[in-house]
Amino acid sequence: MLVDGDVSYAVRMTRVLNRLESFILPKIIAKRAVKEYPANLHLPEKLISAAQIYLKVATHFVQTARA
């Protein structure tokens, strides 16, 4: 990973990306992708969050394709 700019923002962004991966990837894969899979992330919250994220990605994809 290369950082161009303020390192402290990159640290926060990495934390956000780790959280995102924990939400959208199956636990078995996410555990390999992030340093530590969040112990307090249970299935209902994970499924709801993942569904919201995938829905937003799909919506943006459709909007972009139409534009």
Partner 1 sequence: MTNTYYEFFCPVKVIAGKAALEHIPYELNGLAAKRPMIVTDKGVRAAGLLEPVITACEESGLDIVSIYDDVPPDSSTTVVRDIAAIYRKEKCDSIIAIGGGSAIDTGKAVNILVSEGGDDIAKYTGAGVLKRALKPFFVVPTTAGTGSEVTSIAVITDEKKGVKLPFTSSYLLPNAAIIDPRMTLTLPPHITAATAMDAMTHAIESFTCIAKNPLSDAYATAAIKKVSQSLLQVMDNPKDSDGRLELAQASTMAGIAFSNSMVGLVHSLGHATGAICHLPHGLCMSLYLPYVLEYNLETIREPLGELLLYLEGPEVYAATPGSRRAEASISALRKLRDALYKRCQLPRTLKETGKITEGQLDQIADMAMDDGSIMFNPKEVTLKDARAVLQRAWA
Cβ neighbors of 21 (< 8 A, separation 6 or more) are 30, 33, 34
Cβ neighbors of 37 (< 8 A, separation 6 or more) are 22, 27, 30, 31
Our CB check for partner 1 shows the closer of 14 and 49 to be: 14
Our CB check for partner 1 shows the closer of 13 and 58 to be: 13
Least distance between partner 1 and beta carbon 36 (Å): 4
Q: How many CB atoms lie within 10 A of CB 30?
A: 19
| Footprint on this chain of partner 1 (rule: CB under 8 A) | 2-5, 7-8, 10-12, 14, 18, 34-36
Our CB check for partner 1 shows the closer of 7 and 65 to be: 7
